[in-house]
Chains A and B, each alone.
Chain A
């Protein structure tokens, strides 16, 4: 693991820890309003100070991870399960599923994905879980095609033939040799990119308003929008969520870039 990947993993571990902490804490975003302590700078009581309604920025920052963490993970699952399954089966066994998959992938590739995702939330409201599911589904064909190409080229390799000669069954070859060892990094990269994409979508929509997470529920997007450009405000009110978004996306990308197969250095 290189330095960038270690940094990325550390940041993501912190985000996860923050999410876990926020999920078990009894912090109440509404009860926390207290105009008498509005826009304070950082202190021991309020590590990142307070926003202009007197709410604790640090707690809101942690609480806001609930806005994207679940949907982001949902996107990864919704994208990976069908994507890997379809790509692997079509790639390994070929036949009609392979044609169907290619057709489907082409059709979906012609639609702009961002529009697809926006469409989903316009129809189904500003539920971020729907956003996650839509992003996952929109990108499932990309993953399916990547896995398909990888498996399709690998299955003709001499080592697959040798594995057959060694008495390994198709499923064992597909699962252990092709998918687990030869595709796990591919899937990992895809999941990380998709996660950061979902985070970016959620924060962007929440920043713009209209769709997305709405006050008083915190999101890094609406925290930024809410505090950005406040006069005499606490600068950390806007800087903290901005940095959090930037760091998390950077972490995902650094980690994803380190997931490279060690085949032929």
Chain B
């Protein structure tokens, strides 16, 4: 049975309203699953729930997460008792999963880097944590830096947005995660850099990493992903094969996709 990650019945609440309601998805090793939806539909919340990270209070109130790697099965949310769950409890439950099994590329890549650490140290730490081999320069080169020596001594505030994305990608690759949740890794980058990053993600999937790719770019979805999950106001509107995207069945899905495409600059 191949490694896979499956989320079911995900519910996230804020004080006064439901933010995610019954979200479900699953991804297998070596597969790219796209997660699309308009701004505010809950993509980032979903990504964080896959890692047990804190969000609004009371936060995650129900979730069934099953992560199967190397014949070993993790169910971090199982038997937690009544919600809300403290972040300390979730820290304990997700120990050994975060990073090692599921990696996260945050939406705000630069904000995700320790502002007082150099790129060199950041990547070196990931190598140590992941127990992977190689020098920081090797991983940076894989993440699309032609001249790693130039970026290694830089601090995050000295990086451009695209550079920060790539450093973040290098860290996640060096960490050796089996699944990667990438939150809009291609937004705001020039086409060359974007294609570089996407090619790298493609290669990761070919190497057997399961990828959940969050994006607004529908062209990208049909090019990279096999399946796509469409989120709308915290619910799964539709789940389908990526190549059927252009013939999305439900009219609401169509409308929403068109709107998303318009917002992200008519990329369709």
Contact surface of A with B, Cβ cutoff 8 Å: 157-159, 161-170, 177, 181-182, 261-265
Which chain B positions have C-beta within 8 A of A166? Answer: 98-99, 103-104, 126, 129, 171-172, 175
Which of B105-113, B189-197, B230-238 faces chain A?
B105-113
Q: Which of B51, B111, B155, B171 contacts A262 (CB 8 A)?
A: B155
Closest chain B residue, CB of each to CB of A159: B114
Which chain B positions have C-beta within 8 A of A177? Answer: 114, 117
Judge if B61 is at the interface, Cβ distance under 8 Å.
no
Q: Which of B96, B113, B116 contacts A162 (CB 8 A)?
A: B113
Q: Which of B96, B99, B106, B117 contacts A161 (CB 8 A)?
A: B106
Give the distance to chain B from A164, nearest Cβ to Cβ, in Å: 6
Complex contact B106–A158 (CB within 8 A): yes
* CB-CB under 8 A for A168 and B157, given A157-B111, A181-B117, A263-B115: no
Please measure, in the bound complex, the distance between the C-alpha atom of A142 and the C-alpha atom of B48, giving whole angstroms.
Answer: 37
Please measure, in the bound complex, the distance between the C-alpha atom of A238 and the C-alpha atom of B211, giving whole angstroms.
Answer: 75
Which chain B positions have C-beta within 8 A of A162? Answer: 104, 106, 111-113, 168
Judge if B8 is at the interface, Cβ distance under 8 Å.
no
* CB-CB under 8 A for A182 and B116, given A161-B53, A166-B103, A262-B155: yes
Judge if B91 is at the interface, Cβ distance under 8 Å.
yes
Which chain A positions have C-beta within 8 A of B155? Answer: 262-263
Which chain B positions have C-beta within 8 A of A165? Answer: 48, 51, 53, 98-99, 103-104, 106
Which chain B positions have C-beta within 8 A of A265? Answer: 157
Which chain B positions have C-beta within 8 A of A168? Answer: 99, 129
Q: Count the B residues whose beta carbon is within 8 Å of the partner chain — how many?
A: 30
* CB-CB under 8 A for A169 and B126, given A162-B106, A262-B116, A262-B155: no
Which chain A positions have C-beta within 8 A of B48? Answer: 165
Please measure, in the bound complex, the distance between the C-alpha atom of A167 and the C-alpha atom of B131, giving whole angstroms.
Answer: 13
Please measure, in the bound complex, the distance between the C-alpha atom of A186 and the C-alpha atom of B98, giving whole angstroms.
Answer: 31
Give the distance to chain B from A96, nearest Cβ to Cβ, in Å: 14
Q: Which of A161, A167, A264 contacts B129 (CB 8 A)?
A: A167
Which chain A positions have C-beta within 8 A of B53? Answer: 161, 164-165
Give the distance to chain B from A168, nearest Cβ to Cβ, in Å: 7
Which chain B positions have C-beta within 8 A of A264? Answer: 115, 157
Which chain A positions have C-beta within 8 A of B129? Answer: 166-168
Give the distance to chain B from A186, nearest Cβ to Cβ, in Å: 12
Give the distance to chain B from A203, nearest Cβ to Cβ, in Å: 37
| CB pairs A–B below 8 angstroms (26 shown) | A158-B108, A158-B111, A159-B111, A159-B113, A161-B53, A161-B106, A161-B112, A162-B106, A163-B114, A164-B53, A164-B91, A165-B98, A165-B103, A165-B104, A166-B104, A166-B172, A166-B175, A167-B129, A167-B175, A168-B99, A169-B95, A177-B114, A177-B117, A181-B114, A181-B117, A263-B115
Give the distance to chain A from B142, nearest Cβ to Cβ, in Å: 17
Closest 7 CB pairs of A and B: A167-B99, A162-B112, A158-B111, A165-B104, A167-B98, A181-B116, A166-B99
Judge if B25 is at the interface, Cβ distance under 8 Å.
no
- Could you mark each residue 151-165 of chain B with 1 if its beta carbon is under 8 Å from any beta carbon of chain A, else 0? 000010100000000
Please measure, in the bound complex, the distance between the C-alpha atom of A170 and the C-alpha atom of B95, giving whole angstroms.
Answer: 11
Give the distance to chain A from B125, nearest Cβ to Cβ, in Å: 8
